[in-house]
Amino acid sequence: MIPVCRLDDLPAGESVRVDTAPPIAVFNADGELYAIDDTCTHQDASLSEGWLEGCLVECPLHAASFDLRAGRPTCLPARRAVRTHRVTVEDGVIHVHMAAEEGSAA
């Protein structure tokens, strides 16, 4: 369980990158919190820097789009899912529960 930041510090529409290995991106999508692997499965780009619209994040490099709920790509050029991670809020602090290294990719 990795503390990320205070919930107050991640308002709706914002995202933050967590320097885990591999890095994780945490999003506040209109009040719902999601965490996915930060690196686009197509090429090296940080999804935490992507364009957030509803439950979709668009990669800032080649516009591949991922559904934050399951990690699945919704358009090319990405073809593989990113892993999703469970998010909880405890005492006003966002925590990420890293999925196991294997078997959790959607």
Partner 1 sequence: MRTVTVVGASLSGLYAARELRAQGFDGRLVVVGDEPHRPYDRPPLSKDYLTGAPDEDPPDLTDDEEFSALDAEWILGVRAAGLDPPGRTVLLADGREVRTDGVVVATGASARGLPMPGGRLAGVHTLRTLDDARALRAELTSGPRRVVVGGGFIGSETASSCARLGHGVTVVEAAPLPLVAQLGPEMAAVCAGLHRRGGVELITGTGVAGLRGTGAGAVDGVELADGRLLPAEVVVVGIGAAPNTGWLAGSTLALRDGVLCDDGCVTALPEVVAVGDVARVGGTRAEHWTSATEQPRTAIRNLLAGHTAERLRPLPYFWSDQYGARIQFAGHRLPGDTVRVAEGTLTDGAPDATGFLALYEREGRTAAVLSIDRPRPFTRVRRELACAAGAVGAESTVRADAS
Span near partner 1 by CB under 8 A; candidates 21-29, 31-39, 55-63, 90-98: 55-63
The total of other beta-carbon atoms located within 10 Å of residue 41's CB is 19
- Of 24 and 73, the one with the shorter C-beta distance to partner 1 is 73
- Of 76 and 89, the one with the shorter C-beta distance to partner 1 is 76
| CA neighbor of 71 nearest in space, from 49, 86, 61, 60 | 86
Three-state SS for 64?
Answer: coil
Q: Using CB under 8 A, which of 3, 22, 43, 54 touches partner 1?
A: 43
Counting residues that bind partner 1 (by CB under 8 A) gives 21
Residue with tokens 């591949």: 64
| CA neighbor of 24 nearest in space, from 42, 51, 1, 56 | 1
Q: Using CB under 8 A, which of 3, 51, 89, 90 touches partner 1?
A: 51
Pairwise CA distance, residues 29 & 43, whole Å: 24
Site string for partner 1, 65-84 (x = CB under 8 A): -------xxxxxxxx-----
Contact residues toward partner 1 (CB under 8 A) are 43-46, 49-51, 58, 60-64, 72-79
